[in-house]
Amino acid sequence: MWRNRIVVGYDGSQSSTSAAAWAAREAASRGMGLSIINAMSPPVSGGAWGPGMQVGIETLEKIRESAQSALDEFAATLGVQDFQTHADIGSPTGLLLAASETAELIVVGSRGHGGFKELLLGSVSQQLVAHADCPVVVVRDGSESTKDSVVVGVDGSKASNVAIDFAFAYASRHKLKVLAIHAWDVPSFDLIVMPNTPVPVEMNNATDSEVRLTAELLAGFEATYPDVTLETRVIRGTPVNAILGAQSEAALIVVGTRGHGSVVSAVLGSVSHGVLHQAKIPVAVVTQEAQRGNA
CATH number of the domain where residue 163 is located: 3.40.50.12370
- Check the CA dihedral 181-182-187-191 and report its sign: negative
Q: Which helix (DSSP H) or strand (DSSP E) does residue 236 occupy? A: strand 230-236
Number of structural domains found in the chain: 2
The verdict on 126 and 260 lying in the same domain is no
| Domain boundary pick from 92, 121, 141 | 141
The verdict on 219 and 83 lying in the same domain is no
The verdict on 12 and 113 lying in the same domain is yes
- β-partners of residue 25 are none
Supply the pLDDT for residue 241: 93
List Cβ neighbours of 119 (8 Å cut-off, separation of 6 or more): 111
Supply the pLDDT for residue 259: 45
The verdict on 161 and 104 lying in the same domain is no
| Domain boundary pick from 141, 173, 204 | 141
The verdict on 79 and 222 lying in the same domain is no
Supply the pLDDT for residue 192: 47
User: pTM (2 decimals)?
Assistant: 0.83
The verdict on 123 and 21 lying in the same domain is yes
Cα–Cα distance between 8 and 205 in angstroms, integer? Answer: 47
Name the residue range of residue 46's domain: 1-141
The verdict on 266 and 176 lying in the same domain is yes
List Cβ neighbours of 68 (8 Å cut-off, separation of 6 or more): 38, 85, 87
Supply the pLDDT for residue 222: 93
The verdict on 263 and 234 lying in the same domain is yes
Cα–Cα distance between 287 and 113 in angstroms, integer? Answer: 27
The verdict on 159 and 289 lying in the same domain is yes
Supply the pLDDT for residue 236: 85
Q: What is the mean pLDDT of each run of 10 residues along the chain (295 residues)?
A: 93 91 96 93 57 68 90 94 92 92 94 45 80 92 79 87 95 96 66 49 58 84 95 90 94 80 50 88 84 51
The verdict on 60 and 125 lying in the same domain is yes
The verdict on 173 and 58 lying in the same domain is no
Supply the pLDDT for residue 42: 67
CATH number of the domain where residue 5 is located: 3.40.50.620
| Domain boundary pick from 141, 168, 187 | 141
Question: CA of 280: how far to CAs of 110, 180, 251, 269, 273, in Å?
Answer: 10, 18, 10, 19, 14
The verdict on 206 and 288 lying in the same domain is yes
Amino acid 121 reads: L
